Amino acid sequence: MKNIFLLFGCIALTAACQSASATPQIAQTVPPPATVTMTPPATPTSTLVPTPVPLFFTDEFRTDLRSWVSFQTGGTESPTVKLENDFLRLDFPLSNTWYYAIHTVHEYSGVFVSAKFSGTPTGSLGVICNYSETKGWYEFNIASDGTYGILFGQWLAQGIAQYTPIAVSASEYLQAGNLTYEIGLTCQDNLLLLHINGKLIRKIDVTRYGLTEGKIGITASSFEEVPMIATFDWVKVGEPE
């Protein structure tokens, strides 16, 4: 089985800020947390947001990415990021490269973030909630081996992040070799609700991590086999479900 958390082998990665972002890999047995080197997104300026963005919205990637900031971890070559035919397209030329994009406009104390995406069967894609540069964030990732994972990420220092696996599992709604899904993540108080193709598959208590608000985002990654191509059809942000 290919694993979403190859990151957890105490692998040190040097990252450069890009206009895109990504996610780590999942293991059959959950190893201890890993510390990785990467660069957090720069604090956005007002020029990044061309027009007011409502609190709840759908981004169908038809115009620009100026409401997003992004960064890369791993890999010596950045993924190519572009808007194409009303999709956000990411082309990963090298293996073990992670891409993150954080929406900069609003912070949420309760939110449902969902995305429809597709990818070649050699990587992972996901959504992020409660992102805070000082406190951390949650990721919900779907891997091409038919597993899903929940991660708690946290900046330890400038350029140094640690990931802790909260849950790693298979699901009847996932198939190995398939990365075409609609997934959703509800973040409400200290509870995470995981959705796949409109089905609520799991509830997870995350009280111990203490994240109750923050920004939303998306993530994608390549595994060993490349090139890897990922497309996001849309990202929706709504009230908690």
Alpha-carbon distances of 22 from 19, 25, 74, 188, rounded to whole Å: 11, 10, 9, 24
Q: What is the pLDDT of residues 66-102, one digit of tens each?
A: 999 988 766 678 899 999 999 999 999 999 998 999 9
Q: What is the pTM of this model?
A: 0.81
- First and final C-alpha spacing in the chain: 32
Q: Which two tokens stand for residue 217?
A: 């985002």
What pLDDT is stored for residue 76 in this prediction? 73
Domain boundaries, the chain: 34-238
Tell the CATH topology of 34-238.
Answer: Jelly Rolls (2.60.120)
Cβ neighbours of 152 (radius 10 Å): 20
Higher pLDDT, 26 or 188: 188
From CA 131, how far away is CA 103, in angstroms rounded? 10
Distance CA 89, CA 93 (A): 13
Rounded Cα gap, residues 5 and 33, in angstroms: 10
What pLDDT shows up at residue 119? 96
pLDDT at 170: 96
Q: In terms of DSSP bridges, do strands 215-222 and 98-103 run parallel, antiparallel, or are they unpaired?
A: antiparallel
More confident residue, 51 or 169: 169
pLDDT in tens, 189-230: 999 999 999 999 999 999 999 999 999 999 999 999 999 999
Identify the pLDDT of residue 40.
55
- Each residue of 134-191: pLDDT tens digit? 999 999 999 999 999 999 998 887 667 788 999 999 999 999 999 999 999 999 999 9
Q: pLDDT grade, residue 47 (50/70/90)?
A: very low
